[in-house]
């Protein structure tokens, strides 16, 4: 179970880094994949950059916690970070995005992050 817990945590952290990169350098497609398309050349450009920075930072902090503070610290971090995809679910729904994206991507991500936290607590 230890290998599974650590592998899932690392994959989730690396995925956050990837999302951050995508929102910073490919904001249009990233926003469409998020579920609420935005024009990165308009007012939304700054917000897409903020989202990219947020997601990338979450990934790097998660990797640092896992490497230097251990599984328990990473588990608590994952519990807190699970609030982000839960809120993203509501944001997509509130702004007319597809329910399939809201629940199939964002809500499912929150569940996987909480599973990861549970596995890390069990280590």
The whole-number average pLDDT for the span 18-41 is 90
Mean pLDDT over 52-80 rounds to 97
pLDDT for the residue 42: 75
Domain that holds residue 73: 2-122
The whole-angstrom separation of Cα 5 and Cα 103 is 24
Per-residue model confidence (pLDDT) at position 1: 84
Q: How many domains does the chain have?
A: 1
pLDDT at 37: 84
Q: What's the CA dihedral at 63, 102, 31, 48 to 10 degrees? A: -60
């Amino acid at each position: 179970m230890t290998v599974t817990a650590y592998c899932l945590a690392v994959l989730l952290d690396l995925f956050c880094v990837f999302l951050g990169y995508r929102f910073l350098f490919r904001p249009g497609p990233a926003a469409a994949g998020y579920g609420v398309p935005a024009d990165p050349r308009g007012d939304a450009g700054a917000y897409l950059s903020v989202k990219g920075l947020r997601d990338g930072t979450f990934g790097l902090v998660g990797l640092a916690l896992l490497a230097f503070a251990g599984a328990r610290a990473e588990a608590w971090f994952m519990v807190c970070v699970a609030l982000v995809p839960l809120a993203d679910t509501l944001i997509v729904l509130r702004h007319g995005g597809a329910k399939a994206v809201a629940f199939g991507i964002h809500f499912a991500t929150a569940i996987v992050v909480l599973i990861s936290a549970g596995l890390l607590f069990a280590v």
